[in-house]
């Protein structure tokens, strides 16, 4: 397939490489040139501007936030320059409000829009082992199906409303953030009592908490390995706030999200902008 890709952060680069390895023709654009140059050396084509990435059958975008997506113009003006019938696949974690407006903006121009937020860190993206959550019109989701095996190990289709996929991802990231905080608090309790948390991790990771989230994040927190970041603290706070905003819009109550907001904000006040979001657990060291 002829595919465009916009947004080559640590996750985007991994996904783009998987598409190249699967034999797709890839045109890539990113604000900073280094990842573009790296992918061109592997067979991609460099887009001179974002519009050039919108001239194929699909365009995938993986931008950091609502603001970043709007800055590029994927909520309006840029779409006027897209190839007729293009389907835009948005892999980012964005607000449910923006998800709705994106679907409307694309439909008004005869373009397809599929929300496909992903679960997984950069190493999972590089290995093609992401978990994918899709929502969009049936005919547009069908257009995306041929690329799913290259980038993910599992996927679920939630229906035709793209914002449902984003709410699904927001809820998932809220659970991960809550788990990170809980693991940090448990380790701190053990250390205060003179107990080494290492055997605690070993036992629970092999038994009652034998899950990827506990195994992976629990080890990062145990080793205090907060750099290089797989998912930076500011993005963690962004996603916690997305959960809070979604709850406010939908009439839900998320008291744990309020605690997480304060914890992540405190970590950023310490200047930990380049640390992994697991660094929030070091606040009480």
Peptide bond before residue 228 is cis, with ω within 30 degrees of 0 = yes
Give the residue from 97, 135, 94, 87 showing the smallest Cα distance to 249.
97
In sequence order, the β-bridge partners of residue 156 are 133
Beta-carbon contacts of 206 under 8 Å, excluding residues fewer than 6 positions away, are none
Residue 219 known to be catalytic: no
- Say which residue the tokens 């916690």 belong to: 240
Q: Give strand pairing partners of 90.
A: 61, 115
Q: Which of 21, 137, 153, 169 is catalytic?
A: 169
Contact 4, 58 (CB under 8 A): yes
Query: How many CB atoms within 10 Å of residue 228?
Result: 11
- Say if CB 57 and CB 1 are below 8 A apart: yes
Asked if residues 4 and 133 have their Cβ atoms less than 8 Å apart, the reply is: no
Question: Would you name the residues annotated as active-site residues?
Answer: 169
């Amino acid at each position: 397939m002829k595919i465009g890709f916009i947004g080559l952060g640590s996750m985007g680069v991994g996904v783009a490489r998987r598409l190249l390895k699967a034999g797709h023709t890839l045109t890539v654009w990113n604000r900073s040139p280094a990842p573009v140059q790296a992918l061109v050396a592997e067979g991609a084509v460099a887009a001179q501007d974002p519009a050039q990435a919108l001239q194929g059958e699909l365009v995938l975008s993986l931008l950091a936030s609502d603001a970043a997506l709007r800055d590029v113009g994927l909520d309006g003006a840029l779409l006027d320059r897209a190839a007729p019938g293009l389907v835009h696949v948005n892999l980012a974690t964005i607000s449910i409000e923006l998800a709705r407006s994106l679907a409307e903006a694309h439909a008004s121009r005869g373009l397809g829009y599929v929300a496909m937020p992903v679960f997984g860190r950069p190493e999972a993206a590089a290995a093609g082992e992401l978990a994918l959550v899709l929502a969009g019109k049936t005919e547009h989701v069908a257009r995306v199906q041929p690329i799913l095996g290259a980038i993910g190990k599992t996927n679920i289709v939630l229906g035709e409303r793209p914002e449902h996929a984003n709410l699904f991802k927001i809820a998932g990231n809220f659970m991960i953030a809550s788990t990170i905080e809980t693991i940090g608090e448990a380790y701190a309790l053990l250390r205060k009592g003179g107990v080494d948390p290492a055997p605690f991790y070993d036992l629970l990771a092999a038994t009652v908490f034998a899950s990827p989230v506990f195994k992976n994040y629990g080890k990062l927190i145990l080793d205090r390995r907060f750099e290089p970041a797989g998912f930076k603290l500011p993005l963690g706070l962004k996603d916690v706030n997305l959960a809070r905003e979604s709850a406010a819009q939908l009439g839900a109550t998320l008291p744990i999200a309020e605690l997480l907001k304060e914890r992540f904000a405190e970590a950023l006040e310490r200047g930990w902008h380049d640390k992994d979001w697991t660094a929030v657990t070091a606040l009480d060291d």
